[in-house]
């Protein structure tokens, strides 16, 4: 058993109002540079909808993620290693910029320079690729709030996979928002697809990154990722991806998208898992069992044996303690209300979602059922089926039961807590859905109250050794801060000006990166030592 810690995110979809604050703050932080105009480390999609890039979920088209070969072994859906080396001159599965969108800006100068007159001046879109005038035809969030449905939304691969066709008429339509970042997978196919070995998973916290100095622009990570969360910077010729805001995570702070989320629906916490069990779990024969299989990989930090072994294997004591308080672990394992996005891609994603109850409740209410009683709702589900089946296609490879159970628990918490508040006795029993009274309270605390300290339990990084070395270099800055690099943009505010950083420095003294480094900024480049991954040594052209 090899115990590793992973920073894991959970998003409570019921609360997402589709405001895109997360997208905007993420973009301002990481991708507001030429070459990354079309790059969204975080984006929010309206579901049902095509997503970004269009139809990215259809792996028959894009060949991202893993599949099983005839003998049931894992292999990259994009083909063998040999195939990749032979097709390196042209990647057959790469989306083009039009599948994302031709990035554009406006010719604002023409507003200012317009001659005085009666006509209001107007601006036209300019392509960031060519500098020429263009007409935007598609883009991220193009179909916001089902704009363009049914024309577009019916092209959603999750709908196409459904037995019963969804109707997009006004009465029976349902929708919700799906914010997406990189999943920082346990079995990342982007890393496995990178021929240069420039992509890696960090041993300490599981964050998946691209080494900008070692990327050679072979662009196989882009097609290898089934979530299309690696992007190609068209100016630098290198791949870039969501960093899970590692400089913030290392300082014990939540990511920018979480910090600024208006719905306060994001959770960050550690999950301990057995790295040796990942490959076998990802190779589970029936795709619908992958959700359960992934749960089996996670380890219980409250189990003294696990905690002792984790510390013996070098996971710091305060990290194990933080894992015990992890909201992610609570929502995923203890309460089983969070589900993985598309487990059938077999990458073992680590951003999980509490499925939205509202679209289900809306549809049941529209059909004349009383939405206050969870049993009522789920009696209705059996006749309506559509939203739940759709959610199952997103979160459990189509198996309805886990989605149904999670939604029932959510509905139960609502009913029980409403009764508590009103001082009445609900005529339902939480045990029916596998919840104790304490569980219901705990879920209420996590999901409804959702205080900052409960949402984010991020232990600061231990960088004793790295820090010691770093302290010798007076001139160290952020390695991503160079022009064109992901962190381009100069020195930024001194950490003292950022309340969170300040707090962390006091709390964690010399243990944290912020405590060690004079400037409170981490200089991140990592060792050359690739250790054997869960897939073991490679064999020619196939999965190891």
Q: Is the Cβ–Cβ distance between 134 and 103 less than 8 Å?
A: no
CB of 401 to another protein, least distance (A): 31
Which residues within the stretch 194-213 sit at the binding site for ligand SF4 (CB under 6 A)? 208
When CB distances are held under 5 to 8 angstroms depending on the partner's kind, the choice from ligand HEM, ligand SF4, another protein, none that residue 44 binds is: ligand SF4
CB of 193 to ligand SF4, least distance (A): 8
CB of 441 to another protein, least distance (A): 39
Residue 8 in the binding site for another protein (CB under 8 A) = no
At 243 the three-state DSSP class reads: coil
Residue 183 in the binding site for ligand SF4 (CB under 6 A) = yes
User: What tokens appear for 10 in the block?
Assistant: 């959970």
Q: Is the Cβ–Cβ distance between 479 and 485 less than 8 Å?
A: yes
At 516 the three-state DSSP class reads: helix
Site string for ligand SF4, 27-66 (x = CB under 6 A): -----------------x----------------------
Which residues within the stretch 497-526 sit at the binding site for another protein (CB under 8 A)? 523-526
d(CA 327, CA 122): 49
CB of 212 to another protein, least distance (A): 6
Angle between helices 304-312 and 317-324 (to 10 degrees): 150
Among 3, 8, 22, 543, binds ligand SF4 (CB under 6 A): 22
When CB distances are held under 5 to 8 angstroms depending on the partner's kind, the choice from another protein, ligand HEM, ligand SF4, none that residue 262 binds is: ligand SF4
When CB distances are held under 5 to 8 angstroms depending on the partner's kind, the choice from another protein, ligand SF4, ligand HEM, none that residue 339 binds is: none
Q: Is the Cβ–Cβ distance between 377 and 385 less than 8 Å?
A: no
Q: Is the Cβ–Cβ distance between 504 and 253 less than 8 Å?
A: yes
Interface with another protein (CB under 8 A), residue total 89
Judged by CB under 6 A, the stretch of 31-39, 182-190, 318-326, 385-393 that binds ligand SF4 is: 182-190
User: What tokens appear for 94 in the block?
Assistant: 């790469």
CB of 191 to ligand SF4, least distance (A): 6
CB of 188 to ligand SF4, least distance (A): 4
My answer on whether omega of the bond before 383 falls inside 30° of 0, hence cis, is: no
Which residues within the stretch 199-218 sit at the binding site for ligand HEM (CB under 6 A)? 218
User: What tokens appear for 54 in the block?
Assistant: 């269009």
Among 5, 8, 76, 190, binds ligand SF4 (CB under 6 A): 190
When CB distances are held under 5 to 8 angstroms depending on the partner's kind, the choice from another protein, ligand HEM, ligand SF4, none that residue 227 binds is: ligand SF4
d(CA 536, CA 480): 31
Query: Quick one: which of 140, 173, 143 has its CA closest to 155?
Result: 143
User: What tokens appear for 52 in the block?
Assistant: 């970004």
Beta strands 104-106 and 125-127, pairing class: antiparallel
Residue 129 in the binding site for another protein (CB under 8 A) = yes
C-alpha 521: how far from its chain's center? 24
d(CA 202, CA 525): 11
Torsion angles phi and psi, residue 340, rounded to 5: -80, 150
- Diameter over CA atoms, the chain: 79
Judged by CB under 6 A, the stretch of 15-23, 29-37, 406-414, 444-452 that binds ligand SF4 is: 15-23
Which residues within the stretch 185-244 sit at the binding site for another protein (CB under 8 A)? 187-188, 191-192, 194-197, 199-204, 212-219, 232, 234-238
Site string for ligand HEM, 86-125 (x = CB under 6 A): --xx------------------------------------
DSSP state of 174: -
Site string for ligand SF4, 265-304 (x = CB under 6 A): x---------------------------------------
d(CA 232, CA 251): 28
Q: Is the Cβ–Cβ distance between 100 and 52 less than 8 Å?
A: yes
When CB distances are held under 5 to 8 angstroms depending on the partner's kind, the choice from another protein, ligand SF4, ligand HEM, none that residue 241 binds is: ligand SF4
When CB distances are held under 5 to 8 angstroms depending on the partner's kind, the choice from ligand HEM, another protein, ligand SF4, none that residue 214 binds is: another protein
CB of 300 to another protein, least distance (A): 23
CB-count burial class (<10 Å; 0-12, 13-18, 19+) for 527: exposed
**SS3 readout for 432-465:** HHCCCHHHHHHHHHHHHHCCHHHHECCCCCCCHH
Which residues within the stretch 209-268 sit at the binding site for ligand HEM (CB under 6 A)? 218
Interface with ligand SF4 (CB under 6 A), residue total 28
State which residue has the least CB distance to ligand HEM.
Answer: 88
Judged by CB under 6 A, the stretch of 18-26, 88-96, 97-105, 122-130 that binds ligand SF4 is: 18-26
Query: Quick one: which of 303, 316, 299, 292 has its CA closest to 399?
Result: 292
d(CA 293, CA 295): 5
At 228 the three-state DSSP class reads: coil
Residue 263 in the binding site for ligand SF4 (CB under 6 A) = yes
Instruction: Closer to ligand HEM by CB, 88 or 491: give it.
Output: 88
Alpha-helical regions (H) of 203-354 = 220-224, 246-250, 256-260, 278-282, 290-297, 304-312, 317-324, 327-329
When CB distances are held under 5 to 8 angstroms depending on the partner's kind, the choice from ligand HEM, ligand SF4, another protein, none that residue 399 binds is: none
Contact residues for ligand HEM (CB under 6 A)?
88-89, 218
Contact residues for ligand SF4 (CB under 6 A)?
16-22, 44, 177, 179, 182-185, 188-190, 208, 225, 227, 229-230, 241, 261-263, 265, 347
């Amino acid at each position: 058993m090899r115990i590793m810690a992973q920073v894991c995110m959970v998003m409570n979809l019921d609360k997402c109002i589709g405001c895109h604050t997360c997208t905007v703050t993420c973009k301002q932080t990481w991708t507001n540079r030429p070459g990354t105009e079309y790059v969204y480390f975080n984006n929010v999609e309206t579901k049902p909808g095509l997503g970004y890039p269009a139809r990215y979920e259809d792996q028959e088209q894009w060949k991202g993620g893993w599949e099983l070969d005839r003998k049931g072994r894992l292999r990259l859906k994009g083909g063998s290693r040999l195939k990749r080396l032979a097709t390196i001159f042209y990647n057959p599965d790469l989306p083009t910029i039009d599948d994302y969108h031709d990035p554009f800006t406006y010719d604002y100068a023409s507003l200012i320079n317009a001659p005085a007159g009666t006509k209001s001046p107007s601006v036209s879109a300019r392509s960031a690729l060519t500098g020429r005038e263009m007409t935007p035809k598609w883009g991220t969030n193009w179909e916001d709030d089902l704009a363009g449905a049914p024309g577009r939304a019916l092209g959603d691969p999750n709908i196409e996979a459904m037995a019963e066709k969804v109707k997009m008429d006004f009465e029976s339509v349902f929708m919700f928002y799906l914010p997406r970042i990189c999943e920082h997978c346990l079995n990342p196919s982007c890393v496995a697809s990178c021929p240069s070995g420039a992509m890696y998973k960090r041993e300490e916290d599981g964050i998946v990154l691209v080494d900008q100095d070692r990327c050679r622009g072979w662009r196989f990570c882009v097609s290898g990722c089934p979530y299309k969360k690696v992007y190609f910077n068209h100016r630098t010729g290198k791949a870039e991806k969501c960093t899970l805001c590692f400089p913030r995570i290392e300082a014990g702070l939540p990511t920018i998208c979480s910090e600024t989320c208006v719905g306060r629906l994001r959770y960050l916490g550690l999950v301990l898992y057995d790295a040796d069990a990942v490959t076998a779990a990802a190779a589970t024969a029936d795709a619908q069992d992958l959700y359960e299989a992934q749960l089996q990989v996670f380890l219980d930090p409250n189990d003294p044996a696990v905690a002792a072994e984790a510390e013996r294997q070098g996971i710091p004591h305060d990290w194990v303690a933080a894992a015990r308080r992890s909201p992610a672990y609570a929502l995923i394992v203890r309460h089983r209300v969070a589900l993985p996005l598309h487990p059938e891609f077999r990458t073992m994603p680590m951003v999980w979602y509490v499925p939205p109850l509202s679209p289900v409740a809306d549809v049941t209410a529209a059909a004349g059922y009383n939405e206050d009683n969870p049993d009522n709702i789920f009696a209705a589900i059996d006749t309506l089926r559509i939203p739940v089946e759709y959610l199952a296609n997103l979160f459990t490879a189509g198996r309805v039961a886990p989605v149904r159970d999670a939604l029932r628990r959510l509905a139960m918490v609502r009913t029980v807590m409403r009764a508590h508040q009103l001082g009445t006795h609900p005529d339902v029993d939480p045990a029916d859905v596998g919840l104790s009274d304490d569980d219901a309270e705990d879920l209420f605390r996590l999901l409804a109250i959702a205080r900052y300290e409960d949402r984010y339990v991020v232990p600061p990084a231990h960088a004793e050794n790295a820090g010691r070395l770093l302290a010798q270099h007076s001139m160290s800055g952020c390695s991503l801060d160079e022009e064109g690099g992901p962190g381009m943009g100069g020195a930024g505010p001194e950490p003292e000006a950022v309340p969170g950083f300040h707090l962390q420095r006091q709390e964690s003294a010399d243990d944290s990166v912020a405590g060690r480094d004079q400037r409170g900024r981490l200089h991140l480049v990592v060792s050359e030592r690739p250790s054997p991954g869960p897939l073991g040594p490679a064999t020619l052209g196939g999965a190891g």
